[in-house]
């Protein structure tokens, strides 16, 4: 009788630990604070800090959802901000932009302010240690460990580095 209870308790604890492990690894490739290291424009010119700066904050709010905020600046007058909600379903996702200041990322910075942009869809692909989010608008996020490469339809490429992981950001 005691052995059956012990096995049952061990099985229950194992299930609890597995559930917690799944929670802490969810969105592990994406979550955290990222800093822009460089940008290569479509003509191949590379721009480095301090001539360009950017921060990306990927914060999981649910297992299938995250709030993502991008800021990018080339100087005090040229700033872009994009805030939106990512929703995941199996190997697809949608992004609902809630705030766009200075135009869409990867495009020339413009004087504009918009709330609620058009919803963007995409596919998730895994290859070895890479996870790639291919957006239907031609933008691609390629995660490789602590590195992120964002490629835009116009040929511009941004290189990001994760500064901080938000492991355990989800409560359940």
CATH number for the domain that contains residue 120: 2.40.128.20
Look at residue 148 and tell me if it is in a domain.
yes
Burial class (CB in 10 A: 0-12, 13-18, 19+), 84: buried
In the prediction, which pLDDT does 80 show?
85
pTM above 0.85, yes or no: no
Look at residue 4 and tell me if it is in a domain.
no
Q: How many domains does the chain have?
A: 1
* pLDDT tens digit at each of 172 positions of the chain: 545 444 443 333 333 333 333 444 568 888 899 999 999 988 999 999 888 999 999 999 888 999 999 998 887 778 888 899 999 998 999 999 998 887 666 566 667 666 778 899 999 999 888 999 999 999 999 999 999 999 999 999 999 999 988 765 555 4
Look at residue 94 and tell me if it is in a domain.
yes
In the prediction, which pLDDT does 103 show?
62
Q: Which domain holds residue 56?
A: 29-164
**Residue 79 φ/ψ region, left for φ over 0, alpha for ψ in the -120 to 50 degree band, beta for the rest:** beta
Look at residue 19 and tell me if it is in a domain.
no
**For residues 6 and 8, what is the distance between their CA atoms, to the nearest angstrom?**
5
Look at residue 16 and tell me if it is in a domain.
no
Specify the pairing of strand 53-62 against strand 32-40. antiparallel
Look at residue 53 and tell me if it is in a domain.
yes
Radius of gyration from C-alpha coordinates of the chain: 19
Look at residue 67 and tell me if it is in a domain.
yes
In the prediction, which pLDDT does 167 show?
66
Look at residue 3 and tell me if it is in a domain.
no
């Amino acid at each position: 009788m005691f052995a059956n209870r012990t096995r049952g308790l061990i099985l229950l604890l194992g299930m609890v630990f597995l559930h917690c492990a799944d929670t802490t690894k969810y969105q592990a490739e994406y979550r955290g604070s990222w800093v822009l290291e460089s940008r290569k424009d479509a003509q191949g010119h590379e721009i480095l800090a301090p001539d360009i700066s950017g921060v990306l904050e990927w914060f999981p709010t649910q297992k299938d959802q995250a709030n993502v905020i991008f800021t990018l600046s080339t100087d005090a007058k040229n700033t872009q901000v994009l805030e939106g909600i990512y929703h995941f379903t199996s190997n697809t996702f949608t992004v609902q932009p809630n705030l766009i200041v200075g135009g869409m990322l990867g495009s020339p910075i413009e004087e504009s302010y918009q709330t609620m942009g058009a919803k963007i869809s995409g596919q998730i692909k895994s290859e070895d240690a890479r996870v790639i989010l291919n957006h239907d608008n031609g933008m691609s996020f390629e995660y490789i460990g602590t590195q992120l490469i964002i490629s835009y339809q116009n040929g511009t490429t941004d290189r990001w580095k994760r500064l901080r992981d938000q492991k355990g950001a989800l409560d359940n």
